[in-house]
Amino acid sequence: MNIPVSSANIDKLVAELTEPWDPIEVVRFGEHVVRLAKFEGEYHWHTHEHEDELFYVYKGEITIQLRDQKDLVIGAGEFGVIPQGTEHCPRSTETSYVLIFEPIALDIRGD
């Protein structure tokens, strides 16, 4: 598969986001995609049985709630990884912008 050379201006894309929890695709690479989402309030509990997720907080701070572990708090400029099969629920008490690195095949709503 040939992937075109591409670039993206994150600040411009942030300005385009209106709805929380409705990510837009920024770029694809190999079998992966980078999506940008506005986090505001709480999402829902879900699991990705076969895929890991990597979150990079561009602006703000998010908490990934975990069932059987301490919550993962990720601030601006920080990464966090949620391994496959881990039940989690993202939330943010402030408007935050997050880049999500994940396999293209991943159902963003969870399994």
Q: What is the CATH number of the domain that holds 56?
A: 2.60.120.10
Task: Provide the H-helix boundaries in 1-111.
Answer: 10-16
Distance CA 25, CA 47 (A): 21
Judge whether 79 lies within some domain. yes
> Does pTM top 0.75 for this prediction?
yes
Judge whether 90 lies within some domain. yes
By C-alpha distance, which of 55, 85, 87 is closest to 73? Answer: 55
Average confidence (pLDDT) over 66-70 = 93
Structural domain harbouring 85? 24-103
1 pLDDT band, cuts 50/70/90, is very low
**107, β-bridge pairs:** none
Count how many domains the chain has: 1
Judge whether 16 lies within some domain. no
Distance CA 101, CA 111 (A): 17
Lowest-confidence range among 2-6, 38-42, 52-56?
Answer: 2-6
Judge whether 19 lies within some domain. no
How many angstroms separate the Cα of 76 from the Cα of each of 93, 94, 95? 14, 12, 12
Tell me the two tokens of residue 69: 């572990």
Judge whether 51 lies within some domain. yes
